[in-house]
Amino acid sequence: MNVKGVHGIVHKISVIVPTYCEADNLPSLAAGITDCFAASGLAGNEIEILVVDDDSPDGTKEVCRSLTDRYPAVRLITRVGERGLGTAVKRGIEESNGDVLVVMDADLSHDPAVIPRLVSEILDSGVDAAIASRFACGGRMHSSIRSTLGSMALNAFVSILLHLPAKDVTGGFFALKEDALQGLDLDAICRGYGDYSFALLYRGVKQGWKTTEVGFDYRPRRQGISKTRFLGAGLSYGIRAIRLRLGLG
């Protein structure tokens, strides 16, 4: 591209979106990501949107393919016979071309308008990872009191146990420098469900990452059914955090 990005340098930004049965949400998500870059100071950079789909039976793949004419940045990666959020993120990282990577959910609970703020923290502030946080200053979780308090307690437990410099370590909405991943064992980190996100942060911080949090409004999904079961996820997350602390995870 001839258009210059931040400080006259063209950056390539890869937005990694793991999906399973998100056909109803993909059109709005692709539009939102594309529009947020076009309206921001990052418009001069190159963007790719990597949809990593676990062979969804609801037509997610077909919807994604239909979007590529209108949104050329969209690229579909289909995984057959493999499931899991953590490994889907790993696949997206491996196939990305960006020097800045963004990971987010497809269900529109992660507002695409936050992406430029995360990327700008990476490019302008020199941090290795910028985390979209429900619990940092300016953040909010638009859920039931029970869900909000449960999520806050779980994140506080994991963050304190692992000495993490963040209040929201399970959200799975973040940006990071691609070269900050050098030396990290992604096979060991990117497994399980949302626990991969705090395992990645834990390993990165131990390696010397500089991090920051950006508060954002988290809203429940608009379409489809959530794959998260809070009690089961909370137990597995807690166990993984303890194993990491003991050097076993």
CATH number at residue 215: 3.90.550.10
What is the model's pLDDT at position 249?
72
What is the model's pLDDT at position 5?
47
> What CA–CA distance (Å, rounded) separates 232 from 90?
23
Range of 10's domain?
Answer: 6-245
Give domain status of residue 112, yes or no. yes
Give domain status of residue 1, yes or no. no
Give domain status of residue 63, yes or no. yes
What is the model's pLDDT at position 233?
78
Q: Which of 14, 242, 223 is nearest to 108 (CA)?
A: 223
Averaged over successive runs of 10 residues, the pLDDT of the chain (249 residues) comes to 51 97 96 94 91 96 96 96 95 97 96 96 95 96 91 96 97 97 97 95 98 94 56 84 92
Give domain status of residue 234, yes or no. yes
What is the model's pLDDT at position 2?
29
Give domain status of residue 40, yes or no. yes
Other residues' Cβ atoms within 10 Å of the Cβ of residue 62: 12
Give domain status of residue 116, yes or no. yes
What is the model's pLDDT at position 221?
62
Give the pTM. 0.91
Q: Across the chain, where does the E strand assignment appear?
A: 12-19, 46-53, 74-78, 100-103, 129-133, 140-141, 174-177, 211-215, 217-218
Pairing of strands 46-53, 74-78: parallel
247 Cβ contact partners less than 8 Å away, ≥ 6 residues apart: none
What is the model's pLDDT at position 10?
85
Give domain status of residue 104, yes or no. yes
Other residues' Cβ atoms within 10 Å of the Cβ of residue 22: 25
Number of domains in the chain: 1
What is the model's pLDDT at position 116?
96
